Amino acid sequence: MTTALDQLKQYTTVVADTGDFQQLARYKPQDATTNPSLILKAVQKDNYRPLLEKTVRDHASRPVGDIIDRLLVAFGVEILKIVPGRVSTEVDARLSFDVQKSIEKAHQLVALYEAAGIDRERVLIKLASTWEGVRAAEVLQQEGINCNMTLLFSLAQAVACAQARAKLISPFVGRIYDWYKKNAGANWDEARDGGANDPGVQSVKRIYAYYKKFGYPTEVMGASFRTTSQVAELAGCDLLTISPDLLQKLHESNEPVQRKLCPQQAASVPIKRVAHDEPTFRYLLNDDAMATEKLAEGIRLFAADAVKLEQLITPLR
């Protein structure tokens, strides 16, 4: 019988969300995504220690930030030996509000990939979906550097990313779900509020419909899943990036997966255009407590893990 994972692949491009590239081959994803937290988790495993030590040893005289860039790219290069498509590599979250430094960091990462023989078409530069991150993406896209806009929690962010012609966005399903569940407290009813009614699922469906209705080519990749149910509810989305534990569950399941999203149906959804100027973006984001809180929290957490990576590397130099 066909597995749930194989069924999902009929409708959606499956992407692995991990820095643990040794797990990738069994699931045969098209692409892979990484972030500082995933890389930090991976390098603390014994089987990745040699890659960490070699990267530090080969570039010990360089600044710690440069060594981290090379470590991220080293993981990306190994991942691209396994997946046939693209890898996403993230710009330091501490640059989320600095347009020029984000652009410079993206240039550095792409240059390292190209020096390793990787074509830039196989690399997606991940940027936080702040106003400044979107502006950096706009410049990079014009230069032929494709961007994956992360930490995205609202339609306002998605519209700004599409207007900037970002290649791809990663709306965070699970973190949206977490926020609403926590705020509902005892009033949360999983049977009523989960599944198709899951607020994270609903957010991605709304963004997908907006893009298809108004003809934006930016790809929608649902991310940050908590359950296989959330994944199944978005079957048909352009891409879905899924953690290894959920990929394993889908691989072991024979539950039927039906297509839930398609461009033709999405284009008929009644939805109004959203202004994409800076004042509107900032107001709409500020007006959305969930998006405001989760964006700020996400930047803090990724930045904290970047610091932990620095602390892990410094004694090895």
Catalytic residue numbers read: 126
Pairing of strands 147-152, 168-171: parallel
Question: Which residues does 130 contact at the CB level (< 8 Å), separation at least 6?
Answer: 96, 97, 151, 295, 299
Question: Which residues does 258 contact at the CB level (< 8 Å), separation at least 6?
Answer: 232, 235
- Of 177, 112, 119, the closest CA to residue 144 belongs to 119
Residue 159 and residue 314: Cα distance in Å, rounded? 40
What is the CB neighbour count within 10 angstroms for residue 42?
21
Q: Which helix (H) or strand (E) holds 232?
A: helix 228-233
DSSP 154-206: SHHHHHHHHHTT-SEEEEBHHHHHHHHHHHHGGG--HHHHSGGG-HHHHHHHH
